[in-house]
């Protein structure tokens, strides 16, 4: 049996922070797992180094399920983003090792390909509607079949999803969190105009998506969903915070716009009611924050019973290791919906050389054994960790709100 001989955490910042777990076996095979939790990176690094790695040494690297249960049940303290990101990193690294030993890409271990590739969506954003649509057209020209539209809102200095950068959106920065101001009424007046004009300019052959980023109440979300119905969105994402899963009933009663939620979920329990009551159409839980490939498959299996499809989170704060894992998962899972693809910068791609590729709107994880991602440790070592925070958001009268 391949015994776990060593494991260590590598923190690097090629433009943004990434935490990577590297597990090595006594036979010299190694696997990588992403453990990046945006704005809280070192908490996961410590959880792994101080509390997980000492328990892994000497274990059979092939026992992925048993090690998952050992880390989940054995900690006594269950769930939570820090814990589950750490468990995810171990799980992902072990799938990588198993694939390398088998000489097969991970998707083959998960049952093989269920499709030719994973449809991805790109991010088009601009300070106003026309700028957003110019960028969306560039995605369409590059072959994307689906594009997310976010635009600045008149009267608001900044909003989620809009950056000065042409193709990269990186909200984490600063020695303390940036503060932004939010107005629900201004946003609700503006968002339908973006999609009305979006259909005029882009036509009907491209899927359009939108992220509300947890800023509405359920009844406001119902109103927005209704206003957007004529433009046939692929999905409306995170319309309201989802701690109260029953809150989505109210949205559902008022609109047929498909709903996606779950990028902050870390366990099947966060989504159980949403799925069982068919309150959502797409589940956005992802490998790194929801307990790895092993647990994400469990969530997807529950979702499949209720015709809920996957739509994994894939922002730039998820490393190329997560992207690869998501693509192996997405290629194999029966109820795949779509995969988010926010391209990494050239600096990040150089630190994590990878086998996955984009072709005509679809992505494929490649045929390299394991996940097909490397970590150039020498290059990673040249980028020191930089503390960075996600912004916080307030209403115009100063009330704390969800960002």
Which residues of the chain form contacts with ligand GCO (CB under 6 A)?
38, 211, 213, 263, 313, 315, 317, 340, 390
The partner in contact with residue 96, picked from Mg ion, ligand GCO, none with C-beta cut-offs of 5 to 8 angstroms by kind, is none
Residue 290 Cβ vs ligand GCO, minimum distance, rounded to whole Å:
14
The long-range contacts involving 240-249, CB below 8 angstroms and separated by at least 24 positions, are 240/212, 240/214, 240/216, 241/214, 241/402, 242/214, 242/270, 242/274, 245/270, 245/271, 245/272, 245/273, 245/274, 245/279, 246/273, 247/218, 248/218, 248/274, 248/277, 248/279, 248/280, 249/218, 249/277, 249/279
Per-residue binder mask for Mg ion (CB under 5 A), 213-252, x = binder: ----------------------------------------
Instruction: Give the residue carrying structure tokens 């995969």.
Output: 339
Check binding of 24 to Mg ion (CB under 5 A). no
Residue 389 Cβ vs ligand GCO, minimum distance, rounded to whole Å:
10
Instruction: Give the residue carrying structure tokens 């000497």.
Output: 58
The partner in contact with residue 91, picked from Mg ion, ligand GCO, none with C-beta cut-offs of 5 to 8 angstroms by kind, is none
Within 255-314, which residues bind Mg ion (CB under 5 A)?
263
The residues annotated with a catalytic role in the active site are: 160, 213
Binding piece for Mg ion, criterion CB under 5 A, among 29-37, 203-211, 351-359, 363-371: 203-211
Q: What are the helix and strand counts (H, E) for the chain?
A: 14, 16
The partner in contact with residue 38, picked from Mg ion, ligand GCO, none with C-beta cut-offs of 5 to 8 angstroms by kind, is ligand GCO
The partner in contact with residue 315, picked from Mg ion, ligand GCO, none with C-beta cut-offs of 5 to 8 angstroms by kind, is ligand GCO
Choose between 104 and 315: whose C-beta lies nearer to ligand GCO.
315
Residue 296 Cβ vs ligand GCO, minimum distance, rounded to whole Å:
16
Choose between 262 and 372: whose C-beta lies nearer to ligand GCO.
262
With CB under 5 A as the rule, give the number of residues binding Mg ion: 2
* 179-182 β-sheet, strand order: 179-182, 392-395, 400-401
Choose between 7 and 216: whose C-beta lies nearer to ligand GCO.
216
- Please give the residue whose beta carbon sits closest to Mg ion in the complex: 211
Six token digits for residue 129: 């509607």
Phi-psi region of 79 (alpha: psi -120 to 50; beta: other; left: phi over 0): left
* 4-12 β-sheet, strand order: 4-12, 18-25, 30-34
Choose between 210 and 252: whose C-beta lies nearer to ligand GCO.
210
Choose between 107 and 341: whose C-beta lies nearer to ligand GCO.
341
Six token digits for residue 14: 């090629």
Distance from C-alpha of 346 to C-alpha of 219, rounded to nearest angstrom: 42
| φ and ψ at residue 308, rounded to 5 degrees | -95, 130
Beta bridge partners of 372: none
The partner in contact with residue 158, picked from ligand GCO, Mg ion, none with C-beta cut-offs of 5 to 8 angstroms by kind, is none
Choose between 213 and 328: whose C-beta lies nearer to ligand GCO.
213
Radius of gyration of the chain (CA): 20
Instruction: Give the residue carrying structure tokens 């992925």.
Output: 64
Among positions 34, 41, 96, 211, the unique one binding Mg ion when judged by CB under 5 A: 211
Choose between 110 and 342: whose C-beta lies nearer to Mg ion.
342
Distance from C-alpha of 74 to C-alpha of 291, rounded to nearest angstrom: 14
The partner in contact with residue 270, picked from Mg ion, ligand GCO, none with C-beta cut-offs of 5 to 8 angstroms by kind, is none
Residue 103 Cβ vs Mg ion, minimum distance, rounded to whole Å:
36
Residue 95 Cβ vs ligand GCO, minimum distance, rounded to whole Å:
23
Specify the 3-state DSSP secondary structure of 329. Answer: helix
The partner in contact with residue 281, picked from ligand GCO, Mg ion, none with C-beta cut-offs of 5 to 8 angstroms by kind, is none
Interacting residues toward Mg ion by CB under 5 A: 211, 263
């Amino acid at each position: 049996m391949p015994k776990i001989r060593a494991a260590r955490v590598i923190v690097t910042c090629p433009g943004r922070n990434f935490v990577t777990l590297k597990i090595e076996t006594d036979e010299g095979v190694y696997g990588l797992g992403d453990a990046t939790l945006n704005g809280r990176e070192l908490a996961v690094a410590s959880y792994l180094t101080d509390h997980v790695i000492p328990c892994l040494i000497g274990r059979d690297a092939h026992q992925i399920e048993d090690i998952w249960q050992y880390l989940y049940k054995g900690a006594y303290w269950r769930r939570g983003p820090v814990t589950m990101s750490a468990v995810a990193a171990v799980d992902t690294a072990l799938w990588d090792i198993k694939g390398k030993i088998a000489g097969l890409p991970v998707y083959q271990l998960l049952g093989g390909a269920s499709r030719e590739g994973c449809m991805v969506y790109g991010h088009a954003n601009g300070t106003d509607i026309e700028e957003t649509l110019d960028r969306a057209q560039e995605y369409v020209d590059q072959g994307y079949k689906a594009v997310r539209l976010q635009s600045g809102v008149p009267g608001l200095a900044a909003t989620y999803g809009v950056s000065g950068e042409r193709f990269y959106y990186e909200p984490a920065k600063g020695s303390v969190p940036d503060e932004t101001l939010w107005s629900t009424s201004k946003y609700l007046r503006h968002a339908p105009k973006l999609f009305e004009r979006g259909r005029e300019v882009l036509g009907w052959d491209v899927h359009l998506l939108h992220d509300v980023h947890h800023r509405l109440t359920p009844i406001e979300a119902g109103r927005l969903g209704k206003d957007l119905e004529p433009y046939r969105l692929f999905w409306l994402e995170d319309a309201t915070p989802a701690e109260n899963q029953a809150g989505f009933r109210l949205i559902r009663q008022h609109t047929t716009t498909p709903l996606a939620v779950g990028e902050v979920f870390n366990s099947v329990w966060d989504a159980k009611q949403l799925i069982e009551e068919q309150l959502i159409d797409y589940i956005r839980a992802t490998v790194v924050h929801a307990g790895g490939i092993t647990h994400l498959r469990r969530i997807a299996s529950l979702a499949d019973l209720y015709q809920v499809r996957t739509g994994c989170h894939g922002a730039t704060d998820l490393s190329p290791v997560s992207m690869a894992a998501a693509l192996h998962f997405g290629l194999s899972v029966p109820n795949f919906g779509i995969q988010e693809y926010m391209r990494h910068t050239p600096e990040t791609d150089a630190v994590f050389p990878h086998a996955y590729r984009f072709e005509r709107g679809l992505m494929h994880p490649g045929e390299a054994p394991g996940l097909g991602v490397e970590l150039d440790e020498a290059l990673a070592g040249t980028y020191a960790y930089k503390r960075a925070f996600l912004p916080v958001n307030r209403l115009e009268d100063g009330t704390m709100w969800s960002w």
